[in-house]
Each structure stands twice: as structure tokens, then as C-alpha cells.
């Protein structure tokens, strides 16, 4: 509750105070209007001057019409401000998580989508609900006072009905919050199938294999399941609300019968009867507002817990204070590194001992699933080894600032990103400092062999590499083009080469999509770029690694052998077998 209120306070104090003042005004107006109505009626019946009271009643009527509109506007404005602050905090918290483990955890993902949904709306719901409850309480207080004056016994059934409704609303709120939490899995799968049916990247296989019907049916199954859950919720809500309404009308009807009887007997004036009717309606309205507002607050608080969980989760790897990492002088050592992605998952790396000497080119080869990409991810410190350590010039990576370490590394991942941004930005993301430095971007593109292709695009480097944002206007750099797989790979390579000051260059399958000539050309460029630098090249194309200073073969998570190309061929082990197979394939 405090966290939600703090968020609302932080995103606009003046607005929150105004909203509170309006809540007080909103609850005072109906009570004042009821008293003024009684006064006007009694004055008319007693033939006394009525103008001043009638004018005040008109003002109260105007305020009753106006205040809700103003509250609505202020609430919407507050909602937008809270949305901004909540998102800033949520995505800021995510950016402070340097590892990948949390994002791979489906439970965390569920919380994350609930946090993204409820964080921006939660505080407004809580504030709105709390103020609504206070408003209801004030209104209730005013009318309860009135009922006490007229007939205190009427309070008993009216308040009992309110207590029943309050209990029902709380149960509904808890049920609704649980339902919301439980739907995450189904919603994610439904979204996944809907994405498959609409995404361009899946379209080829979906059409060729005729998967549209299958995925569509699965999407509808998920939707039907979540609809059934929502239907259960709606039915409960219907029952509770209808019961509450019914109870209210019975109480109001009984009260009216009593008031009319009392007026006949001369115990009440006409004004008293009007006041009584207004008071019973007012108490019930106050209770309804209070009950539904408390229910709304409770539900919002339960859901806001997910937002709090994500925002306060903290870094997912033991953090070290920010700072720079000294340049690599001697090398990186993996000392008895064991790693698995989860406690219930098999070991991926099993006691890897390996040195990547500074200034030398090391190549990593081996069968699929051997752990090469995992080793790359550990070097970038997306995870910490489960056992053992990785040392940067003798210092454990866990003792180095993550951002500082990553500034020292340039990497092309096997599954690199194709950003729907301009060609220049697609390269510049490799080093945000170079965003405005077109000369550096072009130099990196030249080294990766994509300079000519990018310069020849309709708007050169400013062409957007996507058609998602295409506009009808001509000459708009937003109208984009699509690159081929190999061209994309060169752009991703340029992104890593832009970090020309990085100490360690990691290339995970940088040329798998290139044609033979392009591959030879790119590797010639890379050899020049890597000369004298520390690099780690992961590749299945063994022709591209033969000139590395050392080749390491990784098999089933362990180093099977290590040496130069010639030495490994002579040894006749795994590398020799793989190389000979590939070479024979080419010759045949």
C-alpha cells in the first residue's frame, strides 16, 4: 500500500492533493443537497421565504454535476503521470539485471507481464480506490448522522447489508487477483500462437506445412480456457452484486413504508420524508461506493505485488560497484568451470580448463550441443559458473563490474538481433558512443564487408532495415528494405567490430550464412583486425579456424583436445576426424 501511494506521490504531489480535496467535496455535496431539499420543502410547506435555500440547492446541484467530471479528468491525468513513473522504474529495474536467468524463468515472465500491466495502473487504482472509499465513508457518515436523527433503528439493517456486501467484495477481489495470476500461462501461449499466425518470420513454414489450422485451433483452445475462468469470475460477481442490490432494495422498501406511515401519523414532515428517502439512498450509495472502492483497492494491491516484486528484485548476479576493468594483459582462464542452466537440468560444461591468451586468436570447435555458445555467454557474464571460476588476468569475473567488463568485449552472437532500425543504428548499437560518428560506423561496415551494400540502399545508411514502419510518403527514410541473411550477418559483424577498442573479440559463427567468396573475404578482414588482439572464434567451418593460434575442441561440455591445426591433425583425434570429413566432402 505504501509503495503504491509513494509511486502516486512521486509522480505528482499537487495532483494527488487536488484529487483528495475533490473526494471530500464529492462526498459533501450529496449530503448538503439532501439537507437543502428538506429545508426547501419545509419552507414551502410552512410558507416561509425560500429563495436563498433554493439558490443554494441549485449551486449544490451544479456541483453534483460538475465534481465527478473534474474528478474523472484529474484521475486520467494522474493515471498518465503514474504510468510514466511506473514504466521508468520497471524498465530501469530490468536494465539493472545483468544476467539472463530471470528472463528465462517462466514464472518471472508471468510476473513481468503482470507487472507491466498493473504497475502503471495499480497506484491510480489504489489511490482512486482509497479515495473512493474515503468519499463513500464521508457520505455514509453524513447520512448516518441524518438517519440517527430520524430513526436510529433504520441503521441496523442498512449497515448489516453493507457488512455483507463488504465481505462479498473482499472475497471477489481475492478471487479476481488469483484468477489474474493464474491466467498468465494460458495468455502467454495464446499470444505465442497468435504471433506465429501473424509474424512474417514464421509465415513461410506456417504456409508451407499448412500449420495455420493447427496453431489457430490451439490458440482458440487457450482462449476458451481463459474465457471459462473469466466466466466463473463474472458469475460470482453477478451473484454478489445482485444479492447486494436485492438486500438494499428490501431495506429501502421497508424504510419507505415506515416513513410514509410516520408522516401519516404526523410524526414526520414532508421534508423529513424526503430527507429520509435521500438518507437511505445515500447510506446505500455511500456503502456501495465504499465497498466497491475497497474491493478495487484490495485487488489492485494484490496485483501491484507483482510489480513490486520485479522492481525490488535487484540484480540477478552478485553485483560489484560500477567502474572500469583494466585492459587484458595476460589472458582469460577458465578454471574447472562447471555449468548447468538449472538445478534440475543436465550439466552443459563439465570441468572446463582453458586459457585464452591475450593477443592470440583462439578457436572453439566441436559437435552441436557441446557447450560452445554457453561458454561464450559465461565469458560475457550472462551467468556465473555453477562451480569453478573464470579469471580475467587472474581476477574472478564475479569481482569485476559487469558493465565495465562488457565494455571490454565485442561479440557477434550466433542468434544476433536484427533491429528494426536504420542501417547506421543497427551498427551503432554495438557502441552507443559511436551513434553520431558516421565515419566510425562506415569503417566498421567496411571491415565487415557490408559498406557497399548499405551505401547502395535507397537512403544509404539511413534506410530502415524493416518494412514494419513503412509510410505512404515518398522519400521517407522510414520506408525500409529487407536484407538477406548473409547481409544481416555482416551488419551484426560490423556491430561487434565497431568496438574497435574492445580487448576481447568473440565471434560465434560469424560467417555461417555467407557465400564462399564473401566468407573468405570476411575472414581475411577479420584476420587483419584480430592481428595482435585477443579473439575467440566459434565455428563449424573448420577452414576458417585453421590459422588460429590455438584450436580447442569441446565435446560434451569438456575440452577434448587443444593445439594448432597441424598438431591436432597429427594427433588424429576429434578435430582431425571433423576436418577430414569436411575436407573429403568438398573434394568429393
Ligand X SMILES: Nc1ncnc2c1ncn2[C@@H]1O[C@H](COP(=O)(O)OP(=O)(O)OP(=O)(O)O)[C@@H](O)[C@H]1O
Strand ranges of the sheet holding 331-339, from the earlier edge strand across to the other edge = 349-357, 331-339, 387-392, 395-396
**369 contributes a contact to ligand X by CB under 6 A:** yes
Interface segment toward ligand X; rule CB under 6 A; list 71-79, 309-317, 352-360, 364-372: 364-372
The CB-of-100 to ligand X minimum distance in angstroms stands at 7
The CB-of-345 to ligand X minimum distance in angstroms stands at 6
**348 contributes a contact to ligand X by CB under 6 A:** yes
Q: Give the span between the Cα atoms of 552 and 365, in whole angstroms.
A: 6
DSSP bridge pairs for 355: 333
Closest CA to 326 of 394, 250, 421, 227: 394
Question: 29 Cβ partners below 8 Å, 6+ apart?
Answer: 60, 63, 64, 67
Residue 83 or 555 with smaller CB distance to ligand X: 555
Candidates 26, 371, 486, 510; binder of ligand X (CB under 6 A) is: 371
Residue 168 or 557 with smaller CB distance to ligand X: 557
**370 contributes a contact to ligand X by CB under 6 A:** yes
**341 contributes a contact to ligand X by CB under 6 A:** yes
Interface segment toward ligand X; rule CB under 6 A; list 48-56, 369-377, 417-425, 575-583: 369-377
Q: Give the span between the Cα atoms of 1 and 303, in whole angstroms.
A: 11
Q: Give the span between the Cα atoms of 454 and 462, in whole angstroms.
A: 9
Candidates 21, 59, 73, 104; binder of ligand X (CB under 6 A) is: 104
**474 contributes a contact to ligand X by CB under 6 A:** no
Candidates 208, 314, 323, 368; binder of ligand X (CB under 6 A) is: 368
**512 contributes a contact to ligand X by CB under 6 A:** no
Q: 60: burial class by Cβ within 10 Å (0-12, 13-18, 19+)? A: buried
Task: Answer for the pair 304, 4: CB distance below 8 angstroms, yes or no.
Answer: yes
Size, binding site for ligand X by CB under 6 A: 12
Binding mask 409-448 for ligand X (x = CB under 6 A): -----x----------------------------------
How far apart, in Å, do the first and last CA atoms of the chain sit? 73
Q: Give the span between the Cα atoms of 136 and 130, in whole angstroms.
A: 10
Task: Answer for the pair 493, 510: CB distance below 8 angstroms, yes or no.
Answer: yes
H-run or E-run covering 553: strand 550-555
Closest CA to 536 of 502, 487, 568: 502
Q: Give the span between the Cα atoms of 361 and 349, in whole angstroms.
A: 22
**247 contributes a contact to ligand X by CB under 6 A:** no
Residue 298 or 374 with smaller CB distance to ligand X: 374
**374 contributes a contact to ligand X by CB under 6 A:** yes
Residue 299 or 509 with smaller CB distance to ligand X: 509
**459 contributes a contact to ligand X by CB under 6 A:** no
Candidates 372, 381, 495, 562; binder of ligand X (CB under 6 A) is: 372
**289 contributes a contact to ligand X by CB under 6 A:** no
**88 contributes a contact to ligand X by CB under 6 A:** no
Strand ranges of the sheet holding 504-508, from the earlier edge strand across to the other edge = 409-412, 504-508, 534-538, 361-365, 550-555, 558-563
The CB-of-388 to ligand X minimum distance in angstroms stands at 16
Q: Give the span between the Cα atoms of 264 and 278, in whole angstroms.
A: 19
Binding region for ligand X (CB under 6 A): 104, 341, 345, 348, 368-374, 414
Amino acid at each position: 500500500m505504501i509503495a503504491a501511494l509513494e509511486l502516486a506521490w512521486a509522480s505528482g504531489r499537487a495532483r494527488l492533493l487536488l484529487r483528495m480535496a475533490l473526494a471530500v467535496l464529492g462526498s459533501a455535496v450529496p449530503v448538503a443537497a439532501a439537507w437543502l431539499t428538506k429545508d426547501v420543502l419545509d419552507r414551502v410547506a410552512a410558507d416561509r421565504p425560500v429563495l436563498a435555500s433554493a439558490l443554494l440547492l441549485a449551486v449544490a446541484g451544479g456541483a453534483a454535476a460538475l465534481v465527478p467530471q473534474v474528478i474523472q479528468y484529474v484521475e486520467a491525468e494522474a493515471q498518465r503521470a503514474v504510468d510514466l513513473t511506473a514504466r521508468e522504474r520497471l524498465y530501469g529495474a530490468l536494465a539493472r539485471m545483468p544476467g539472463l536467468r530471470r528472463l528465462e524463468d517462466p514464472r518471472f515472465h508471468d510476473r513481468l507481464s503482470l507487472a507491466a500491466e498493473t504497475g502503471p495502473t495499480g497506484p491510480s487504482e489504489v489511490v482512486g480506490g482509497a479515495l473512493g472509499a474515503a468519499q463513500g465513508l464521508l457520505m455514509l457518515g453524513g447520512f448516518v448522522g441524518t438517519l440517527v436523527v430520524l430513526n436510529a433503528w433504520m441503521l441496523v439493517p442498512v449497515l448489516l447489508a453493507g457488512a455483507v456486501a463488504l465481505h462479498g467484495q473482499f472475497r471477489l477481489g481475492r478471487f479476481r487477483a488469483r484468477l489474474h495470476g493464474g491466467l498468465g500461462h494460458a495468455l502467454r501461449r495464446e499470444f505465442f500462437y497468435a504471433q506465429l499466425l501473424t509474424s512474417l518470420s514464421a509465415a513461410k513454414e506456417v504456409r508451407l506445412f499448412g500449420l495455420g489450422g493447427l496453431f489457430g485451433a490451439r490458440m482458440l483452445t487457450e482462449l476458451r480456457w481463459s474465457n471459462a475462468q473469466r466466466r466463473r469470475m463474472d458469475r460470482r460477481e453477478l451473484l454478489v452484486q445482485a444479492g447486494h442490490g436485492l438486500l438494499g432494495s428490501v431495506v429501502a422498501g421497508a424504510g419507505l413504508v415506515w416513513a410514509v406511515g410516520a408522516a401519516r401519523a404526523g410524526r414526520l414532515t414532508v421534508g423529513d420524508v424526503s430527507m429520509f428517502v435521500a438518507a437511505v439512498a445515500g447510506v446505500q450509495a455511500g456503502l456501495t461506493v465504499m465497498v466497491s472502492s475497497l474491493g478495487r483497492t484490495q485487488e489492485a494491491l494484490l496485483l501491484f505485488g507483482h510489480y513490486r516484486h520485479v522492481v525490488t528484485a535487484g540484480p540477478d548476479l552478485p553485483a560489484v560497484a560500477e567502474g572500469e576493468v583494466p585492459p587484458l594483459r595476460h589472458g582469460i582462464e577458465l578454471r574447472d568451470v562447471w555449468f548447468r542452466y538449472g538445478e534440475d537440468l543436465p550439466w552443459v560444461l563439465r570441468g572446463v580448463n582453458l586459457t585464452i591468451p591475450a593477443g592470440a586468436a583462439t578457436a572453439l570447435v566441436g559437435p552441436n550441443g557441446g557447450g560452445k555458445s554457453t561458454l561464450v555467454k559465461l565469458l560475457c557474464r550472462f551467468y556465473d559458473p555453477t562451480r569453478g571460476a573464470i579469471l580475467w588476468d587472474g581476477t574472478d569475473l564475479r569481482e569485476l563490474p559487469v558493465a565495465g567488463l562488457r565494455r571490454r568485449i565485442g561479440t557477434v552472437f550466433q542468434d544476433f538481433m536484427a533491429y528494426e532500425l536504420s542501417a547506421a543504428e543497427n551498427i551503432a548499437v554495438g557502441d552507443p558512443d559511436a551513434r553520431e560518428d558516421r565515419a566510425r560506423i562506415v569503417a566498421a561496415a567496411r571491415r565487415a564487408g557490408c559498406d557497399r551494400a548499405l551505401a547502395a540502399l535507397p537512403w544509404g545508411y539511413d534506410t530502415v532495415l524493416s518494412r514494419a514502419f513503412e509510410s505512404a510518403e515518398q522519400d521517407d527514410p522510414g520506408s525500409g528494405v529487407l536484407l538477406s541473411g548473409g547481409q544481416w550477418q555482416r551488419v551484426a559483424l560490423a556491430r561487434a567490430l565497431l568496438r574497435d577498442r574492445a580487448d576481447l573479440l568473440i565471434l560465434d559463427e560469424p560467417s555461417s550464412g555467407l557465400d564462399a567468396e564473401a566468407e573468405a573475404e570476411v575472414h581475411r578482414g577479420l584476420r587483419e583486425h584480430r592481428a595482435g588482439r585477443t579473439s575467440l572464434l566459434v565455428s563449424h567451418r573448420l577452414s576458417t579456424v585453421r590459422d588460429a593460434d590455438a584450436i580447442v575442441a569441446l565435446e560434451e561440455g569438456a575440452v577434448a583436445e587443444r593445439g594448432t591445426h597441424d598438431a591436432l591433425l597429427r594427433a588424429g583425434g576429434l578435430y582431425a576426424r571433423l576436418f577430414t570429413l569436411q575436407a573429403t566432402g568438398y573434394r568429393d
